[in-house]
Amino acid sequence: MNPILVALDVDSAAKALALADTLRGTVGGYKIGKQLFTAAGPAMVHELNSRGDRVFLDLKFHDIPNTVAGAVQSAVATGAWMVNVHASGGSAMMKAAAEAATTAAAALGRRRPLVIGVTVLTSMTDAALAEVGVARPVLEQVVHLARLAKQSGLDGVVASPQETAAIRAACGSDFQIVTPGIRPLRQGSGQAADQQGKDDQARTLTPAEAMKAGATYLVIGRPITGAPDPREAAERIAASLS
């Protein structure tokens, strides 16, 4: 199965559907995050589902357990294939999310979506964690939250590719690891230092490096959607994984 999930971080349904139609068949699915969901709403998820696409609904729910359970229930009704919550919301919240996904899917007669926990955002560094009162370095905090997510019944986590190997060692081969912060090498480059601009991502690897480290899915946005020929860029990245 193609592990590439393209981040449709655009501001309208028209732009998102145009990208999806251009890329269909070259990637494994699409990520709908806060920008597109705020602009186009649940209808965007329904529309992509109707076209046969897998949708990762990346809204990072983080609230009291009952509120998160209700949000997950609504997410299941959209037909999302994967949803996420912040692992830092704690075990009670994550358990509520996992249980809500199971119950809602059974009630609707549809497949239960994967429920995954966001560990530490890929924009954050040790200094950024310390600023908000987390004394652990990034790697230790990510692995701690991954273990907690697994114990709470989640299917996997979101983490930067630099922590993937440690999570895989701590949580096993069946745990789903979704990795943003993917930056392909520039065409014609053989040096990791020549990766495309990191933008606001602090912890990155190339697609091939991330898969080798144990990633299950790769979330890739700007290197594909911002390319002059998005389909060609997606095909090139997919070829680098084979």
Report the catalytic residues.
Answer: 60
Of 9, 78, 86, the residue nearest 49 (C-alpha): 78
Cα–Cα distances in Å, from 173 out to 29, 92, 162? 22, 25, 17
Closest residue by Cα to residue 171 from 136, 202, 210, 143? 143
Contact 85, 125 (CB under 8 A): no
Asked if residue 225 lies in contact with residue 9, where contact means CB atoms within 8 angstroms, the answer is: yes
Q: How far apart are CA 207 and CA 3, in angstroms?
A: 10
